[in-house]
């Protein structure tokens, strides 16, 4: 029932790119250092983000990653599901037939509702909002 570190790292990476700005290419090594992500692991995660069109990977010298959508349109759910696949709390939510109890089971309906609530919370949070909140916090120092 917990986030994987992969998700945590993916969010950090996108947060960093959002902060730098949409069109800026940032080197993998720099993101890894500043966001405390193991370098080669970030490479793997980036590939997944790229497959979902969240970032673009620029190869070669001076290469790195660049944010594709604007932070206003990009949500936590987008990033999480890019690396984890669809979010759900129990197998039976996605594949009812995986459990012999499912024809009558009402626990499944609870998992289903809870899953939808969770996805909704994540869908409502854009990276623009996150950045804004963090910068407000800093400026009120």
Partner DNA sequence: TTATATCGGATAAATAAAATCCGATTTATC
Partner DNA sequence: GATAAATCGGATTTTATTTATCCGATATAA
Instruction: Report the residue count for the chain.
Output: 141
CB atoms closer than 10 angstroms to residue 121: 11
Which listed residue (58, 68, 89, 94) binds DNA by CB under 7 A? 58
Q: Which residue number, 107 or 133, has a Cβ lying nearer to DNA? A: 107
Interface size with DNA, residues (CB under 7 A)? 24
Answer yes or no whether residue 27 interacts with DNA by CB under 7 A.
Answer: yes
Q: Which residue number, 48 or 125, has a Cβ lying nearer to a second copy? A: 125
Report which of 1, 36, 21, 30 is spatially closest to residue 11, judged by C-alpha positions: 36
Alpha helices in the chain (DSSP H): 5-20, 28-35, 39-51, 76-84, 91-94, 107-123, 127-139
| Contact yes or no for 115/89 (Cβ under 8 A) | yes
Dihedral class, residue 74 (left if φ above 0, else alpha if ψ from -120 to 50, else beta): beta
Task: Please report how close the Cβ of residue 114 comes to a second copy at its closest, in angstroms.
Answer: 5
Answer yes or no whether residue 50 interacts with DNA by CB under 7 A.
Answer: yes
Which listed residue (2, 40, 61, 140) binds a second copy by CB under 8 A? 2
3-state SS, residue 127: helix
Q: Among DNA, a second copy, none, what does residue 12 contact (CB within 5–8 Å per kind)?
A: a second copy
Q: Among a second copy, DNA, none, what does residue 121 contact (CB within 5–8 Å per kind)?
A: a second copy
Which listed residue (33, 41, 102, 107) binds DNA by CB under 7 A? 41
């Amino acid at each position: 029932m917990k986030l994987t570190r992969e998700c945590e790292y993916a969010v950090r990476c996108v947060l960093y790119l959002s902060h730098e700005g949409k069109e800026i290419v940032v080197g993998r090594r720099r993101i890894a250092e500043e966001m405390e992500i193991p370098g080669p692991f970030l490479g793997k995660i980036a590939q997944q983000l790229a497959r979902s069109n969240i970032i673009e990977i620029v190869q070669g010298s001076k290469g790195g990653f660049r944010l594709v959508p604007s932070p206003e349109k990009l949500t936590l759910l987008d990033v999480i599901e890019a690396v984890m696949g669809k979010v759900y709390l129990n197998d039976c939510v996605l594949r009812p037939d995986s459990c012999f109890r499912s024809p009558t089971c009402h626990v499944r309906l609870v998992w289903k509702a809870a899953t939808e609530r969770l996805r909704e919370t994540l869908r409502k949070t854009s990276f623009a909002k996150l950045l804004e909140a963090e910068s407000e916090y800093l400026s009120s120092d």
